Structure 1
Amino acid sequence: MAAVKPFICIRPRGEMAARTAALPYDVYNRQEACEAVKGNPYSFLNIDRPETQFPAEVDTYDDRVYEKARELLDSQIKEGIYVTDSDPAYYLYELTMDGRSQTGIVACCAVDDYINGVIKKHENTREDKEQDRIRHVDATNAHTGPIFLAYRRQEELKRLVEQAKKEKALYDFVSEDGIRHRVWKIGDPGMVKAVEEAFEKLPAAYIADGHHRAASAVKAGLKRRKENPDYTGKEPFNYFLSVLFPDDELMILPYNRVVKDLNGLEKEGFLKKAEEKFEIHLLGKEAFAPDQKGTFGMYLEGEWYGLKIRPEYESEDPVAGLDVSILQDQLLGPVLGIGDPRTDCRIDFIGGIRGLKELERRADSDMKLAFSMYPTSITELLAVADAGQLMPPKSTWFEPKLRSGLFIHRLS
């Protein structure tokens, strides 16, 4: 039973939504973040990545950086850039990309549901990345970047969403990357109660994107519990900001790979070894994106190849049967010597949104060969999480990305 609650939302004043909304903090490095905030003091990225307010010699994790985040948020709330709604509510967040829409319910999920496995994950997290966001949450006393969750489609929630979208939207704007963003508020007490009760019937929710943000939010909540030993469980710090989408509306893009070298092999020797596990066809100059599971594109020395895993190396296991696992276990590891893709500097990962030309560019410049992947499906993601297993790194690339700065949840 999932506890998905309405909350008191801090959100941008209507006409400021387009100026404040920003891509998630973790899609940028420091230099890119500094460029992105130039000319827009109200971009939420200024608050999400407050090191952009300091010269390069100031460390990203300096105490002053986190204090700046708190200062900026508090001052913009005081200035009226953000307003605080008076009543607990849910919100709908619709994103439309290339004619395809997905609508999530903005709400607060329970720390205890994450701990008890009602909210399921499919990736490991890194302590250093968690610590950064824990400090950010602590300094701002707020969750500022929502966790992207999925749930198996439920007819009652679908009906309630359709009903709420008949009202006038709070926000309706198109961001610089062409994504349309629309937001509605569900504030009617009867509707709020119906949404909450519908969520209570869900056996589980799944982290689609934002594992580090989720882990950090939970640890920040547990820290507050230690600091408040008489807590009741109803305090805002027992919940974290989320947007929950039905699984049938989500699209996962491929997460492609590029590799630095052939692990000491000549081209022909490499192809011969690869043929032991894969059927290989030379395709020529035209870029190739796989159109079915178990197939891969490979770009090497100016030519594309089609690879298909031989049947005896397929697997029914939720993790071993993923295409990212097949490529790693049957080719990247044993042939190219990529033992741990998390730490090996000879491999890099390219989000599918970047396209096949980016694979060619990298393989023709600083890398040697590239692999185009068939995307992991949302069904596979849910199966891995249900099995209590973890996906290999860089298995999924979700688009469009949720914007930060449209919804803020205070911990106290």
Structure 2
Amino acid sequence: MAKIIPFKAVRPAPDKVGLVSCRMYDDYSPAELAAWLNFNPYSFLHVINPAYANAQRITSDKRFKAVTLKYNDFKNEKIVFQEEKPVFYLYEIQTKTNSFTGIIAGTSIEDYQNDVIKKHEDTLQYRVELFKDYLHQTGFNTEPVLITYPDSTEINTFIAIHKKSKPIYEFSTTNKEKHTLWKIDTETEINLLIDHFASIPNLYIADGHHRSASAELLYEQDKASGNPNLNYFMSFLIAESNVKIYEFNRVVRDLNGHTQEDFIKLVAKNFVITDKQSELFQPKNKYEFGMYLNGNFYALQYKHKESTKGILENLDAQILYDTVLNPILGLEDLRNDERIDYLPGKQSILHMKEMIDEEEFKVGFMLYPSDINEIKLLADNNLIMPPKSTYIEPKFRSGLLIYEL
């Protein structure tokens, strides 16, 4: 049974929330980052990446200490403050195309270790270690793990009723999103939510596998301190029907020594290939792939879907790896090989076309997005998706809520 707890978040002063909260650091181009840091003294970017101009030249230890100092500056200057008592939050994000609503709470390290909270992605140990060190030295985290739960009539009703109350934040951002945050602070409401989630047998990590793994590693390292906050990590809990799953498309820099003609012949062993010429083709169904090569789009229909039996082997990203990326293009380590790169499916296919037309890459592949049932099936069977199989929304804003350790 899933355990959630309220927590004493640190959050921005209401008159500054739109200025403080920011997208995740990696989401900014260098020019955008420079502009925000130069012209917005309240941006949480100042905290998570202080001395950004020297970021490549200072050690992680010095950088983490600088983060801590800047975070304390924000607290001392009353830019952010801490709640007086533990609470839950209800959070809504409205984008141009979607609306997402979920509960922000502390989720249990014990549940994570006992597979009540299930995973579907592998992690890189060096990244887990690095973020664990970050958490240990800075003492806070502002990016919750995105976790899905089975749709619940009771939780949906609770959310609908609570949305009628007055929010503590309501603001818009420069990327045309609207953000609304409500506080859930009465004993009755808190206990009701705890009871609702206690009846749910499993939760599923959608995004944030490295953050949750780092939280577990920190717990194991520092649990002797007796700090109860180490027993939990901040999560954004959202109904599985309310997440938006995009594919990650692939672009590869060369054909691994093959001519175009030979490459297409090798691909045709496993796929029915239809030349779409200049049509901006994207797959519409599972087992269907798109390919862009030398100015032409192609539709690739997998020939062997009836004989594919394994859960992992049925995944489109795995099929592409097993039939094309590994045996033909010679790609083995999809995380670290510099010959391959990944483009979120929410980006226009024209971006991929432009990269290949400008000869930065040689060939591109478009995939059909996985669905939540595929992800859950893999997690339930302790199977791991190939790297960059899914791009999942919503994305949380840094500096909106902070979990102190």
3-state DSSP of counterpart to 1:270: helix
Count of aligned pairs between the two proteins: 404
State the one-letter code of the partner of 1:191. Answer: E
Match of residue 306, structure 1, among 284, 299, 304 = 299
State the one-letter code of the partner of 1:146. Answer: P
Pair 1:385-2:379 in alignment? yes
| TM-score in terms of structure 2 length | 0.95
How far apart, CA to CA, are the structure 2 residues paired with 1:141 and 1:381? 32
1:314 Cα shift?
5.5
State the one-letter code of the partner of 2:259. Answer: E
Contact 1:270 1:335 in 2 (8 A): yes
Q: CA RMSD in A?
A: 1.8
* 1:19-67, Cα deviation, whole Å (9 max, x unpaired): 1112224445878755553322222222222351x535632x4322111
Shift in CA distance, 312/351, structure 1 to aligned 2, threshold 3 Å: closer
Match of residue 106, structure 2, among 105, 108, 119 = 108
User: Residues 367-378 of structure 1: matches in 2 within 5 Å?
Assistant: 367-378=361-372
3-state DSSP of counterpart to 2:401: coil
**Number of the residue aligned with 1:273:** 266
How far apart, CA to CA, are the structure 1 residues paired with 2:378 and 2:97? 29
Contact 1:314 1:321 in 2 (8 A): no
3-state DSSP of counterpart to 2:39: coil
Pair 1:90-2:88 in alignment? yes
3-state DSSP of counterpart to 2:265: helix
**Number of the residue aligned with 1:125:** 123
3-state DSSP of counterpart to 1:292: coil
**Number of the residue aligned with 1:397:** 391
State the one-letter code of the partner of 1:39. Answer: F
Shift in CA distance, 344/117, structure 1 to aligned 2, threshold 3 Å: same
Contact 2:281 2:297 in 1 (8 A): yes
State the one-letter code of the partner of 1:355. Answer: S
Shift in CA distance, 63/17, structure 1 to aligned 2, threshold 3 Å: same
Between 78-87 and 299-308, the greater mean CA deviation after superposition: 78-87
**Number of the residue aligned with 2:172:** 174
How far apart, CA to CA, are the structure 1 residues paired with 2:180 and 2:39? 24
**Number of the residue aligned with 1:163:** 161
3-state DSSP of counterpart to 1:317: coil
State the one-letter code of the partner of 1:225. Answer: K
3-state DSSP of counterpart to 1:354: coil
* 1:98-157, Cα deviation, whole Å (9 max, x unpaired): 242111100001111111111111111112212222222122211221111111112211
**Number of the residue aligned with 1:349:** 342
1:211 Cα shift?
1.1
Contact 1:97 1:400 in 2 (8 A): no
Pair 1:22-2:22 in alignment? yes
3-state DSSP of counterpart to 1:353: coil
User: Residues 216-255 of structure 1: matches in 2 within 5 Å?
Assistant: 216-226=214-224, 228=225, 231=226, 235-255=228-248
How far apart, CA to CA, are the structure 1 residues paired with 2:385 and 2:102? 24
**Number of the residue aligned with 1:203:** 201
How far apart, CA to CA, are the structure 1 residues paired with 2:312 and 2:96? 31
How far apart, CA to CA, are the structure 2 residues paired with 1:120 and 1:236? 21
Shift in CA distance, 319/36, structure 1 to aligned 2, threshold 3 Å: farther
State the one-letter code of the partner of 2:242. Answer: E
* 1:216-268, Cα deviation, whole Å (9 max, x unpaired): 12222222213x2xx3xx81121111101100011111100001111111111
Contact 2:100 2:394 in 1 (8 A): no
**Number of the residue aligned with 1:43:** 43
